[in-house]
Structure 1
Amino acid sequence: MGTTITLYTLLPLFDAWATWELRQHWHRHHWQTRPITRNLVDNTFEIQFPTLAEAEACQQAWVADETAEWLWMTPNTRQGSIVTIVAWNVSAGRATCQWPDDAEVPLPRDPGVLFPRPTNTVERLRQRWAEAARTQSGSASLAAWVGGVLSAATMPVVAADAVQKTPETDPPLTEDQRRAVHTALTAPVTWIWGPPGTGKTSVITAIVQACWERGESVLVTAPTHVAVDEPLQRIAQAWDARPDRRDALYRGSILRWGRRVSARLHEAVLSHGTVADAIWTVRRAEREQHITAWRLLITQQLSRHATWDALWADTTWLAALTPSQRDSRVIPSGVFAQPLPATGPITSADRQTLTDAWDQWQQQDPWVFRPPLVPMIQGMTLAQLVATPPGEPVDVVIIDEVTMAALPLVMYAALWARKRVVVVGDFLQLPAIVPEETVWPAADRPLVRRWIHATAFSAQGITAQHIPAYPSLVALRDQFRMAEPICRVVNALAYAPHITLRTHTTPLPPRWPDATAHVVQVVPATSRAERTPQGSWVNPDHQILIDAIVRQILTHDPHTTIALLTPFRAQTHALYQRWRHDPRVMAATLHRMQGAERDIVILDPVRIGHWPQHPFLGATDTALQLWNVAVSRARRQVWWIAPAHWPGETVPARLTQWVQRVGQVIRIDERHSAEGV
């Protein structure tokens, strides 16, 4: 099958995919509201939410969303427009929205629905695929992916004698990790299978540094911000400690694309002092604009004008400023951020103060004023790669958490590699969220199964049932996260007999004297699951039990971190409301926890029973992947809330058997339920 034909065959599938994504987005994020005030002068209107909880949930979505554009629609008239939320009054359950001046309909009067505008990643991806079909850019990489067959003959191979020594790391790499780095420097396509806790990020960091030492450009991409930021953070901190690399670091050899980075990277960078300038983002252009404005101010404007009035009337000077700088009269720098005067004479004291600030800034941040380097290491999420791709291909593309991305996204990322592609992930963890086959027309389902539902691993024939002996497939078998009993459960649940996870951790005994094992099952006295009107499930008995367990753990070990994981969103929300003000405790669904880890994980299945085909509680591959992710998030201890005997041959039943085999069982009677654990 030819490359162009394959591309055009895939394009029609994007339309149905985009429609499904919009429907799912609407289902997850929309709020019923009603206008209570309208301001025709500034085209704003205030809306009232039905409850304070809904107002708070909407504000959280507004804070987390990368775009400020939201949609307002009146269901009765089917009319609406893009709005901007400009103010919040959560305590009153209200928000103020800006209606666009050029809207075709007037300010709303009737109740309506507010929801965030989708990013349309699928539609952008369709456009990028169409562009790739018309041009032959990246055709060598693409040919290696078409049909799910990776052919080494279609991509340039680096000679073995060109491979430099694997870079030294702290701690040193294991034998499997070193082989993964070596393969990534030689093979056209490298597959790195990394089960949880096996040091995938350490391998990616070593690959990036080795490529940089060879003068090769690298793009690190992944579905999540955390997966992109972690290796960049490690490289920046390592280079900051080496004078021979600090110059390249601060002149922009690393470029992080996107309007936001993960909170973890942001905190780490700020706490590391001067590394704040190391992870250059697209805000680099903004910093360079500040330098240009300051240079004009010091070298021209202060000597050209006698008054501030004349300086602010100089159109040449104003053209060098952004609108916000002109309005606020603040030009940020590393040492001076006060507003400049609007009127009056420019005194000699003014000139001296600003000149001293300019000199001090250059002395404190010398790297900022050197010409920026061409970024050799770039990082961006797959969504960002589709929205604003880099200007030209790079030598090496590294795709992390690849099973969480649909195959067309992974294939598109591979298009940007001139030499080599490195694919990293674990096909026994969560796949991408895509439409079920039944959503598609029957004629399209074979293509859907091949392109949309396939992962990069399954397209290559790598599955749990069949692990081919590819020279370019490296399995990481030494894990460094979990205590040994937890690792045994993970092995039995998901990885045996294909791979045995060895453990190099030194287990820390839990401090709670009543639960001394690393794996603990709690048999509740009562378990009353209830279905919510939205179709999810909650279990009030389990909520009370989990609260008691968490309080006891934090009493004995106040510095530990805890994750409360359930497969049902309603139960997760109830637990979140109870513990949202304690940063040591997080509540999340199983899907949201991939890529994270905590000291202690408490697993709540919510419903107990035999449902073989249930996606969470059955004997399906999805259930296996979900509970594998859940158990493997724990470093020190796992708690499993379940009956002494789980009926049927399902994944939770297997999990119960292995928890009892390697761990401790605590039975809760009615007296304990009343008094707490």
Structure 2
Amino acid sequence: MDGESVSEVLVESASQVYQYISDMQYMTDPPLGVSMTEVSSCDVGDGFAVLHIDGQMPDANGLMLMVGDRILQESEAGFDRYDEVSRTVVVRPGSEVLALMRDGSHRVCLLTDMKFLISVVGDFYRRYGSLLTPPELDVVCTAPVYPESGEPTDEQRDAVNSILTNRMSYVWGAPGTGKTQYVLATCIRAVVEAGGRVAVFAPTNNSVEQVLRGIIKAFDGDSRLTGSILRLGVPTRAFYSEHPEMCEDRQAQRRLDACHRKAECLEEVMYERACDCLEGEILDAIRIAREASAVSGKVLLEDVPELREAVDGLRGFLSMRPDTRDRMGDFDDRDALEVLSEIRSMIYDRQRPAVEIEEYSSWSDADLLAAIFETEREIEGMRTGGVSRRLEDARIIASTPHQFISRLRPHGSKEDGRPELYVDHIFLDEAGYCGLMQAASLFTNGVPVTFLGDHMQLPPVSQLDDEVLRSAALRGGRLRYGFLWSLSAIYCEQLLYKGPGSLVSSFVSGADPEFCETARGDLTQSHRFGTNLARVLDRFVYRNGLSGSPDGGDLSIECLDVVCDHRDGRENLPEALAIRQFLREESSDASEIAILTPYSVQLALLKRKVGRKYRDSVMTVHGSQGREWDTVILSVADNGIASRDVPLRFTSSQTPIGMKVVNTAVSRAKRRLVLVCDRGFWTSRKDELIGGILGEIPPDRLQESGGTGDVTGH
């Protein structure tokens, strides 16, 4: 399927979902597609403000700032630093907004609106969708040099070879199989040492930095590699303090952008003055063409010397704008009177706001030229700190797909003011968690693309109901292509080669993607999992011979046995109270513990019950994707009480989403996994992943919490 056709469907999908959310947004509470995080306090400094967040930090992708009734987009807010440890965000929104913050009477929030993200994606495909195509260029690389941390396995060697010899590749492996620190790092080194450049993408801010930390560790201080990394986007404070030289200078880029806008405004004023000065000459040319037309009908420029001379005198001016410059090519075979009339209409039958700016009315042309010259000198002086120059110098560029879609343009696309992404190979880590609508943009660059990930972990987050999307995909209508937002990146080959229609059955049935042109490598030995957890996950999830740590050690698995006789919806109060009691006896630092649950209502309950020390350790399983902790406590919440039409929605491994939720949750644990659940109910379900994990627990690791439906707590 050609790029234009695929692009048209992606644009239509963006339009359909944008309109649906617009119509439904305020029919739900909270509003559909909107996430709002309150700012508890602001420390306003000289040109910046530090925002303090009382709660979980939002993801930095597509973040907006609301001050009073003003909403500032990402570029206007000037997000500069993002720190999950202190839960602070540094912004530089300009003096007027800072004054409102300093006043203290205006509500300040951080917003993410899915509509904004959707519109950015749709706009990208409108601009560059014709470039969508399977990779056309071969891999640039030298012979691979593996990290010195250990001898590669045969699977790792095969994975590296498949990446370096194929234009499209996918490496599938569970956590801890060496996808990042071994396979990805080796391939990046092979491309860079051959003189190539790479872009490394990951779906979230956290996952970008996780990937970078992994490859930096693998590079083992090799400054030729670590010294050529550029991390696009807003860094966390921790990453910035560790690697400030890798982070873009957002403040310098904002100053550079402001200078570009100033230069464009001055040049527009100069252009409008030229329009006024040359209007008489354009009208003279039209008069000559009209007189010639009255004699001979159609007038060709080459047949009327006086007309040709008049047009030649206007060519420099007409070349200043792309539309009039393109129209000049029509003089070769079209009626000159028609072409001139169209050019005149383009120039004068339009809005001309620069003409109305009174401040410039007293400026002479010499004043304007001097200001333009001075601004261009300022731009040239700042280019070294701007993202365009740093993109040219960097050999390894790391970012989310959102940063590429919203800020850059594909290699080989027409100059449009955006910096160009010029690389020889593109890698996408955590591909199973990255949405197809974002990932497909990477195929506009024409270079080899490699995905790495685990599609048995959680799929991309979509705020649209899958049942609504399934119905629309099967029956057509206003959300016919809305399901594309719920598919992961690994379906890109199917999209490009067979078209969006082939994806309907895959989405409805939950079938794995079809790989014909993509070389696939599987990694099955994980150092993350103990032999016990690996054995269970291979039986229920992977079914590919997954094995655990080669030293034969086991993950410590424990169970808090909690019986709940009454539930309100998805809430399970006894589990929350049991976890609170368990944490009171814990000595571990809160940063080493994650308390996970599949359901948002159980999340809110846990946050109220666990106490301030561990409140920020509580998150949904979706929020834990791509991260890991020494200890993971999983509040299953579901039991034999059917509180909903789908009683085990996110916990039963008999459903594709339930299996992925539980797999993702237990895979976050590095040393200890604590399951908090009704043990009797789950061990009776021998065909369930949770039951299988409980079967691996030695008797001395079973704890009776004493929780029942009669437990109350404050």
SS in 1 for 2:113: coil
Does residue 489 of the first structure (1) align with residue 485 of the second (2)?
Answer: no
| Preserved CA contact (<8 Å) 1:600 1:638 | yes
| Preserved CA contact (<8 Å) 1:610 1:650 | no
> Partners of 2:621 and 2:248 in 1: how far apart?
31
Q: What is aligned with 1:304?
A: none
Q: What is aligned with 1:302?
A: none
The answer for unaligned runs of 5 or more in structure 2 is 39-50, 79-92, 98-105, 257-370, 379-388, 410-419, 495-505
> Partners of 2:433 and 2:705 in 1: how far apart?
41
**Superposition map of 1:53-68 within 5 A:** 67=63
Q: What is aligned with 2:128?
A: 132
Question: Larger Cα Rg: Structure 1 or Structure 2?
Answer: 2
| Preserved CA contact (<8 Å) 1:194 1:476 | yes
Q: What is aligned with 2:546?
A: 500
Between Structure 1 and Structure 2, the one with more helix by share is 2
Q: Which amino acid aligns with 1:261?
A: P
| Preserved CA contact (<8 Å) 1:429 1:626 | yes
Q: What is aligned with 2:691?
A: 656
| Preserved CA contact (<8 Å) 2:60 2:205 | no
Q: What is aligned with 1:566?
A: 597
> Partners of 2:670 and 2:677 in 1: how far apart?
21
Given the alignment, which residue of 184, 190, 212 partners 2:192?
212
Does residue 189 of the first structure (1) align with residue 155 of the second (2)?
Answer: no
Q: In the TM superposition, what is the alpha-carbon distance from 1:122 to its structure 2 partner? A: 1.5
Distance 1:429 1:68, change over 3 A: closer
Given the alignment, which residue of 547, 572, 582 partners 1:549?
582
> Partners of 2:437 and 2:686 in 1: how far apart?
30
- Scaled by the length of structure 1, the TM-score of the pair is 0.64
Instruction: State the Cα deviation string for residues 560-599 of structure 1 (Å, max 9, x = none).
Output: 8221111122322333345564379711111111111111
> Partners of 1:628 and 1:372 in 2: how far apart?
38
Distance 1:20 1:429, change over 3 A: farther
Q: What is aligned with 1:379?
A: 398
SS in 2 for 1:410: helix
| Preserved CA contact (<8 Å) 1:521 1:663 | no
| Preserved CA contact (<8 Å) 1:519 1:639 | yes
SS in 2 for 1:183: helix
Q: What is aligned with 1:281?
A: 248
Instruction: State the Cα deviation string for residues 596-649 of structure 1 (Å, max 9, x = none).
Output: 111121111123127667431343111110000011111122121222332799
> Partners of 1:595 and 1:158 in 2: how far apart?
28
Instruction: State the Cα deviation string for residues 89-118 of structure 1 (Å, max 9, x = none).
Output: xxxxxxxxx99999xxxxxxxx99977262
> Partners of 2:517 and 2:556 in 1: how far apart?
36
RCO higher in structure (CA 8 A, sep ≥6): 2
- Scaled by the length of structure 2, the TM-score of the pair is 0.61
> Partners of 1:460 and 1:281 in 2: how far apart?
32
User: In the comparison of the two structures, how many residue pairs are matched?
Assistant: 515
> Partners of 1:549 and 1:280 in 2: how far apart?
40
Q: What is aligned with 1:412?
A: 441
Q: Which amino acid aligns with 1:216?
A: G
Distance 1:674 1:448, change over 3 A: closer
Does residue 520 of the first structure (1) align with residue 520 of the second (2)?
Answer: no
Does residue 575 of the first structure (1) align with residue 606 of the second (2)?
Answer: yes
Given the alignment, which residue of 216, 226, 241 partners 2:221?
241
> Partners of 2:251 and 2:152 in 1: how far apart?
34
| Preserved CA contact (<8 Å) 2:133 2:443 | no
| Preserved CA contact (<8 Å) 2:120 2:406 | yes
Q: In the TM superposition, what is the alpha-carbon distance from 1:224 to its structure 2 partner? A: 1.0
| Preserved CA contact (<8 Å) 1:209 1:235 | no
Name the stretch that deviates more: 580-589 or 590-599: 580-589
**Superposition map of 1:266-665 within 5 A:** 266-269=240-243, 276-277=244-245, 279-283=246-250, 285=252, 374-390=393-409, 391-416=420-445, 418-434=446-462, 435=464, 436=466, 438-439=468-469, 441=472, 442-444=475-477, 448=481, 451-458=484-491, 472-496=519-543, 498-504=544-550, 507=553, 518-526=556-564, 528-531=566-569, 537-554=570-587, 561-579=592-610, 581-582=612-613, 586-609=617-640, 614-618=648-652, 619-646=654-681, 653-664=688-699
> Partners of 1:197 and 1:626 in 2: how far apart?
18
Q: In the TM superposition, what is the alpha-carbon distance from 1:123 to its structure 2 partner? A: 1.1
> Partners of 2:440 and 2:542 in 1: how far apart?
27
Q: In the TM superposition, what is the alpha-carbon distance from 1:522 to its structure 2 partner? A: 2.4
SS in 1 for 2:31: helix
Instruction: State the Cα deviation string for residues 491-544 of structure 1 (Å, max 9, x = none).
Output: 233112x34234235648xxxxxxxx822222225454324xxxxx33221122
Q: In the TM superposition, what is the alpha-carbon distance from 1:382 to its structure 2 partner? A: 1.2
> Partners of 1:545 and 1:192 in 2: how far apart?
40
Instruction: State the Cα deviation string for residues 359-378 of structure 1 (Å, max 9, x = none).
Output: xxxxxxxxxxx999621111
> Partners of 2:255 and 2:215 in 1: how far apart?
23
**Superposition map of 1:99-248 within 5 A:** 116=111, 118=113, 120-133=116-129, 135=130, 137=131, 142-144=132-134, 155-158=136-139, 163-202=142-181, 203-236=183-216, 241-242=221-222, 245=224
Q: Which amino acid aligns with 2:232?
A: W
Q: Aligned Cα RMSD in Å?
A: 4.8
Distance 1:450 1:404, change over 3 A: same
SS in 2 for 1:9: helix
Q: Which amino acid aligns with 1:383?
A: H
The answer for unaligned runs of 5 or more in structure 1 is 34-54, 74-79, 87-97, 103-110, 145-153, 270-275, 290-314, 323-369, 509-516, 532-536
Q: In the TM superposition, what is the alpha-carbon distance from 1:464 to its structure 2 partner? A: 7.3
| Preserved CA contact (<8 Å) 1:569 1:589 | yes
> Partners of 1:99 and 1:282 in 2: how far apart?
17
Q: What is aligned with 1:353?
A: none
Name the stretch that deviates more: 162-171 or 232-241: 232-241
Identical-residue share of aligned pairs (%): 20
Q: In the TM superposition, what is the alpha-carbon distance from 1:667 to its structure 2 partner? A: 5.0
Instruction: State the Cα deviation string for residues 437-460 of structure 1 (Å, max 9, x = none).
Output: 525753159963874443333565
> Partners of 2:56 and 2:693 in 1: how far apart?
39
> Partners of 1:593 and 1:177 in 2: how far apart?
26
Distance 1:240 1:583, change over 3 A: farther
> Partners of 2:255 and 2:52 in 1: how far apart?
38
> Partners of 2:467 and 2:707 in 1: how far apart?
49
Given the alignment, which residue of 640, 649, 666 partners 2:702?
666
> Partners of 2:72 and 2:517 in 1: how far apart?
51
Given the alignment, which residue of 245, 252, 255 partners 2:230?
255
Q: In the TM superposition, what is the alpha-carbon distance from 1:14 to its structure 2 partner? A: 0.8
Q: Which amino acid aligns with 1:404?
A: Y
> Partners of 2:520 and 2:36 in 1: how far apart?
47
Instruction: State the Cα deviation string for residues 308-352 of structure 1 (Å, max 9, x = none).
Output: xxxxxxx99x98999xxxxxxxxxxxxxxxxxxxxxxxxxxxxxx
| Preserved CA contact (<8 Å) 1:430 1:629 | yes
Q: In the TM superposition, what is the alpha-carbon distance from 1:185 to its structure 2 partner? A: 1.4
Q: What is aligned with 2:31?
A: 26
